[in-house]
Structure 1
Amino acid sequence: MTDTTSTQPADTARASELGTVARFLKATELDTRMLGMIGALLLIWVGLHVISSLRLGVNPLDFDSRTFLTPRNLWNLSVQTSAVAIMASGMVLVIVMRNIDLSVGSAEGVIGMVMGFAQVHFLVRFVGLELGNPWIWVLALLIGLALGLIIGAFQGFIIAYLEVPAFIVTLGGLLVWRGAAWWVTSGQTVAPLDATFQLMGGGPAGSIGAKWSWAVGIVACLAVIFMHFNGRVQRKRFRFPLRPVWAETLLATVTCAIILGAVWLANSYPWPVGIVNRYAAANNITVPEGGLFIAHGIAIPVLMAVAVGLIMTFVTKRTRFGRYVFAIGGNPEAANLAGINTRWITMKVFMIMGVLATIAAAISSARQNSSTNALGTLDELLVIAAAVIGGTSLAGGSGTVLGAMLGALLMQSLQSGMVLLGVDSPLQSIVVGAVLVIAVWLDTLYRKRV
């Protein structure tokens, strides 16, 4: 008789451990890809913080103001991410339908230049509005929205009705709109922009302050609790499987903790000393010996990005239009046979992309307080990379707005961290390109497993 060693206990323990994780994921209904992306984002943040600390010769646990994980840098990171995240939410719909839009960066540039020209020259010199008129920024934004809608409709019409591949149409748009941006002012920078328009770019004036930030955070937490409660009621009403109470409680608690933590972080970043002193002098405020602390709070562009994300999530998950988009991406022939007007849906998706490019252009130009010919250069790569990293499959049919916006945060974190570390611009482009290729490769592996 041969002696054998049984491996059953070890296998049982391993199966039990995996079973616990699987049961937890099933109870909470968490997306494993989303969890993986959040984990990767946290690793990038920690890694950049440690590297920047070691480069400066300081202890990473001291959280020196020059390192990555500081309120100042993370607040700026949120503002920098806003424009890319807004366009990435629209790129999800484009890619889900098995198309691509290479022109978003150039469209952002020409729209930003037109809005700048409207504020500084057209509305003042030709229409006769005085500088500081409260209608200037409104009219400029409406002009930009109309132009973005026209650009999206024009490209969408060629793609949907003339059946020219989206790659070719938007590649042509990349060149055409970039050239058009130069022709608007013959390459001259347009500045300064309207003071109210500048608020969309963030900064001390373009933030809502500590009190309103806490109010927004509390309202957001109440909304999260209501959504979980209402979702449970609806599931019970239609006899769908219910999540355990502990899972609902855990998800709501973690989400609220993240929201309130983000608010605390935004309120931890004070105004610069010079601006505080000028503000105090203008309002007859006595500055104490240790200085006056005035918190930035949540930046207006971040609120705009969150609002766009919520609206786009609602559109994709709760409307017939959103269901049609995913149906077309999953099987275009079947969607057409089912009576879906695939051409009109395609055209509308590109029109939405044009509107979102306008919002991004407003944020980017307001942040710089100028409209330049270089506005939005290479943003198309960041937007596409953000959508793909966020789980949007290039094969079509799957993707989430939240994932794309997290992907935008990840891409911007890499870029911001490389700037902080003094990495040359060519190497930054290499890293962005490599991350995009790796993301597509991982998506391919994931689809093979599924």
Structure 2
Amino acid sequence: MTDTTTAAPVPSSQPKGAPAGAPASAPPSFLGALEIDIRFLGMIGALAVIWIAFDFLANGTFLTPRNLWNLSVQSSSIAVMSTGMVLVIVMRHIDLSVGSILGVTGMIMAVFQVNYLLPAFGFNHPAVMILTLAAGIGVGAAIGALHGFVIAYLGVPAFIVTLGGLLVWRGAAWAVAEGKTIPLVDDNFKLLGGGADGSIGATWSWVVAIVACVAIAAAAVQARRQRQRFHFPLKPVWAEIVTVAAGCLAVVAATLMVNAYTLPAVLARRYAESAGIAIPPEGLSISFGYAVPVLVAVAVGIVMTFITTRTRFGRYVFAIGGNPEAAELAGINTKRVTLAVFALMGALAAIGAAISTARLNSATNAQGTLDELYVIAAAVIGGTSLSGGSGTIAGAMVGALVMQSLQSGMVLMRVDTPYQNIVVGIVLVFAVWIDTVYRKRIK
């Protein structure tokens, strides 16, 4: 007869899903149970303060559906590029050339569309938009890969390489069309810029909202199952419900806002006449809904979040940023990863160029000037550490919204551009200082 021992029962204060026999821990705080990043929450609070302050200073013109809708469209290209800048900065590099890459790829797309695709396919052929985007993204990725090759394989610091790129590609943007402004001709491509045609309307906006809420709930359930599978501590059920409810509430609020912005009466009447819709005596109310560039930016954010958190490539990027020497000793090909990150940054700059060019309905050699400042500031304000190894895609995209909110608010207050740049510079330095203080406190 053999003696058997049984594991002691798990104390009631121990988190569900923890290994048997683990020491009991104190109940987490409210924010601890929700597992919310304090810095991200603080940034949301700062954004709310900025919005309220500008609405007061601009006599109630900031927090209107029209301005907020325009703000979301204007933030899209910066938000797209900031997702790539997160990976660049996480790896302890910097890219000063993204504004110039945006300018040259936007010009190349416009020239390619007007001079080559239009004669070959005709007006508004579906292939025109597809091939224009393919050409722009391909050129952007090639430029980024060239930067990455010089940085990784030739050993030139990223600051110098991308500073040279800032000058080279800005000059190339001028050379492509000899300084001329190139108007776009494809209406399908123009949808990427937003506007009355580049929006999906109220009905489809609610469809997107429902899909988003279902996705949020499904993601929470999947995350909980993964924790159970690997015997990690579980969040309290009430915390899961609060997190999902907060996400869905934000989606519903955004949908109500974009649907509250309606077409002007003249445009609504023209739309009804062209579509054969009867106009009631009280007039038509046609909502813009979500703008296409905003949906593109959100899609890019979701894909980049998946890449950074769910792929080997993303883990390699953060490992290299945390300790490059240890990552290399662990067998990670740091040079190849560096090249890939800069190529991805170039491709994202080209997507930003497509949005920016479509929004302006033309390409100019000055397009994207100072965008590198806004992209870097968005990433840093969003919590990406300049010392490397830390950063989030969602934080950078909110940072882009913060930067554009500052600019939009100052425009409404009729602040001159030089003073706007002063404010942006001060905010960037302040954000880096906050990051430095935060890093010292957690050590």
Which of 117, 121, 133 is the equivalent residue of 2:115? 121
Aligned to 1:437: 429
Aligned length: 417
Aligned to 2:416: 424
1:36-435 alignment, distance < 5 Å? 36-53=42-59, 60=60, 67-125=61-119, 128-435=120-427
Distance 1:225 1:150, change over 3 A: same
Which deviates the most, 205-214 or 269-278? 269-278
Q: Counterparts of 1:86 and 1:319 in 2: how far apart (Å)? A: 19
Question: Root-mean-square deviation (CA), in Å?
Answer: 1.2
Alpha-carbon shift at residue 21 of structure 1 (Å): 11
Whichever residue aligns with residue 144 of structure 2, its letter is: G
- Asked if 1 retains the 8 angstrom alpha-carbon contact of 2:113 and 2:184, the reply is no
Q: Counterparts of 1:124 and 1:270 in 2: how far apart (Å)? A: 33
Alpha-carbon shift at residue 272 of structure 1 (Å): 2.1
Alpha-carbon shift at residue 238 of structure 1 (Å): 1.1
Q: Deviations over 1:254-286 (max 9, x none)?
A: 110000110111111001222211111212323
Alpha-carbon shift at residue 124 of structure 1 (Å): 3.0
Which deviates the most, 397-406 or 226-235? 226-235
- Asked if 1 retains the 8 angstrom alpha-carbon contact of 2:184 and 2:190, the reply is no
Q: Which stretches of structure 1, 4 residues or longer, exceed 4 Å deviation after superposition?
A: none
Q: Counterparts of 2:237 and 2:28 in 1: how far apart (Å)? A: 17
- Asked if 1 retains the 8 angstrom alpha-carbon contact of 2:173 and 2:365, the reply is yes
- Asked if 1 retains the 8 angstrom alpha-carbon contact of 2:144 and 2:343, the reply is yes
Q: Counterparts of 2:361 and 2:192 in 1: how far apart (Å)? A: 10
Distance 1:40 1:22, change over 3 A: farther
Q: Deviations over 1:202-224 (max 9, x none)?
A: 01111111111101100110111
Aligned to 2:10: none
**Identity fraction in percent:** 61
- Asked if 1 retains the 8 angstrom alpha-carbon contact of 2:140 and 2:346, the reply is yes
Alpha-carbon shift at residue 192 of structure 1 (Å): 3.2
SS, match of residue 398 in structure 1: coil
Whichever residue aligns with residue 78 of structure 1, its letter is: S
Q: Counterparts of 2:190 and 2:409 in 1: how far apart (Å)? A: 26
Alpha-carbon shift at residue 100 of structure 1 (Å): 0.2
Whichever residue aligns with residue 176 of structure 1, its letter is: V
Q: TM-score, normalised on structure 1?
A: 0.91
Alpha-carbon shift at residue 146 of structure 1 (Å): 1.1
Unpaired runs of 5+ residues, structure 2, are 1-25
Q: Counterparts of 1:39 and 1:308 in 2: how far apart (Å)? A: 24
Q: Deviations over 1:62-100 (max 9, x none)?
A: xxxxx0001110011000001000000000000000000
Distance 1:122 1:386, change over 3 A: same
Aligned to 1:27: 33
Alpha-carbon shift at residue 134 of structure 1 (Å): 2.0
- Asked if 2 retains the 8 angstrom alpha-carbon contact of 1:193 and 1:366, the reply is no
SS, match of residue 121 in structure 2: coil
Unpaired runs of 5+ residues, structure 1, are 1-19, 54-59, 61-66
Q: Counterparts of 2:430 and 2:256 in 1: how far apart (Å)? A: 34
Whichever residue aligns with residue 267 of structure 2, its letter is: I
- Asked if 1 retains the 8 angstrom alpha-carbon contact of 2:184 and 2:358, the reply is no
Q: Counterparts of 2:290 and 2:122 in 1: how far apart (Å)? A: 31
SS, match of residue 287 in structure 1: coil
Aligned to 2:14: none
Alpha-carbon shift at residue 229 of structure 1 (Å): 1.3
Q: Counterparts of 1:192 and 1:88 in 2: how far apart (Å)? A: 26
Q: Counterparts of 2:52 and 2:243 in 1: how far apart (Å)? A: 24
Q: Counterparts of 1:388 and 1:337 in 2: how far apart (Å)? A: 29
Whichever residue aligns with residue 37 of structure 1, its letter is: M
Alpha-carbon shift at residue 122 of structure 1 (Å): 2.3
Alpha-carbon shift at residue 22 of structure 1 (Å): 6.5
Q: TM-score, normalised on structure 2?
A: 0.93
- Asked if 1 retains the 8 angstrom alpha-carbon contact of 2:106 and 2:357, the reply is yes
- Asked if 1 retains the 8 angstrom alpha-carbon contact of 2:379 and 2:400, the reply is yes
Whichever residue aligns with residue 53 of structure 2, its letter is: G
- Asked if 1 retains the 8 angstrom alpha-carbon contact of 2:90 and 2:318, the reply is yes
Alpha-carbon shift at residue 291 of structure 1 (Å): 2.0
Whichever residue aligns with residue 151 of structure 2, its letter is: I
Alpha-carbon shift at residue 140 of structure 1 (Å): 1.1
Q: Counterparts of 1:21 and 1:445 in 2: how far apart (Å)? A: 28
Q: Counterparts of 2:131 and 2:253 in 1: how far apart (Å)? A: 37
Whichever residue aligns with residue 443 of structure 1, its letter is: D
Q: Deviations over 1:129-163 (max 9, x none)?
A: 32222211111111111101110110000000000
Distance 1:112 1:279, change over 3 A: same
Q: Counterparts of 2:214 and 2:133 in 1: how far apart (Å)? A: 32
Q: Counterparts of 1:91 and 1:52 in 2: how far apart (Å)? A: 32
Q: Counterparts of 2:274 and 2:379 in 1: how far apart (Å)? A: 45
Aligned to 1:57: none
Whichever residue aligns with residue 440 of structure 2, its letter is: K
Alpha-carbon shift at residue 182 of structure 1 (Å): 0.2
Whichever residue aligns with residue 108 of structure 1, its letter is: L
- Asked if 2 retains the 8 angstrom alpha-carbon contact of 1:111 and 1:147, the reply is yes
